[in-house]
Amino acid sequence: MTNVAVPLEGQQHSLHAHAHDALASGTTHAKGQQHPIKLYLVVWAWLFVLSTCSYLVDYFGFQGYLRWSLILLFMVLKAGLIVAVFMHMAWERLAFAYAILLPPLLVLVFVSIMVFESDYTHLLRAVFFAQTS
Partner 1 sequence: MTDAVLTSTLEPPARATGWRGIAADWSSDQRAFKNVSWGKAMMWIFLLSDTFIFSCFLLSYMTARMSTTVPWPNPSEVFALRIGDKEIPLILIAIMTFILISSSGTMAMAVNFGYRRDRVKTAALMFVTAAFGATFVGMQALEWTKLIMEGVRPWGNPWGAEQFGASFFMITGFHGTHVTIGVIFLLVIARKVLRGDFDVGRRGFFTSRTGHYEIVEITGLYWHFVDLVWVFIFALFYLW
- Interaction between residue 18 and partner 1 (CB under 8 A): no
* Min CB(17)–partner 1 separation in Å: 15
* Min CB(125)–partner 1 separation in Å: 5
Count of positions on this chain that bind partner 1 (CB under 8 A): 73
Greatest C-alpha distance within the chain: 79
Q: In the range 59-98, which residues lie near partner 1 by CB under 8 A?
A: 59, 61, 67-68, 71-72, 74-75, 78-79, 82-83, 85-88, 92-96, 98
If you ran DSSP here, which 8-state letter would residue 84 be given?
Answer: I
Among 78, 101, 87, smallest CA distance to 35 is for 87
- Interaction between residue 129 and partner 1 (CB under 8 A): yes
Tell me the C-alpha distance between 82 and 88, whole Å.
8
* Min CB(20)–partner 1 separation in Å: 13
Tell me the C-alpha distance between 50 and 77, whole Å.
8
- Interaction between residue 128 and partner 1 (CB under 8 A): no
- Interaction between residue 11 and partner 1 (CB under 8 A): yes
